[in-house]
Structure 1
């Protein structure tokens, strides 16, 4: 009854078990969501028409993010994704990634950062 939405959280109260209790659901609350998105991003990187060293470098960075999430080190995972974004921008500037590839990778990485931030705490 009486739900309220605050950002990515939905809060309501009900008496489903005989007592009035407050419940909350957080959208994207599971770090597994971020890991699944990272695995999808890794597949995209693998399919890029880029040099083997470029794809290997990017996948290594994404594996580092997954490792941090497995350890519940969300801030470090976010930092590693920011580093991934910086690397993508440098690779684009060097002509190793197209504008479109870089935009897709950065957009996906930024989405994953939001998932991670929403799963903290």
Structure 2
């Protein structure tokens, strides 16, 4: 678990009545987006696609934005209350939401992978 990075982005994982959740008291945009990935398998698949972007091989992924250079993924996800868009390029991810949270954040892709791996470790623990 990379606590230094989690603290840097104000992300908190919590156990409430035996359920593993995210606090939503830190960086709400990041926390809401990560919480969409509730299984280890989903996180692994997501990281595999991120690796394809980093290696310039994204043509193999369903959510490839054709004609983009460098290759990028465009994800949109709904957590039941907020619709968040994530644009992943070879060096960063940009999360944005315009209606409820009204925020945008860009995170280096290596940091994002570490955050996802920390969430995965928390889910497995």
What TM-score do the two structures reach when normalised by structure 1? Answer: 0.32
What TM-score results when the alignment is normalised by the length of structure 2? 0.31
Whichever structure has more helix as a proportion of its residues is 1
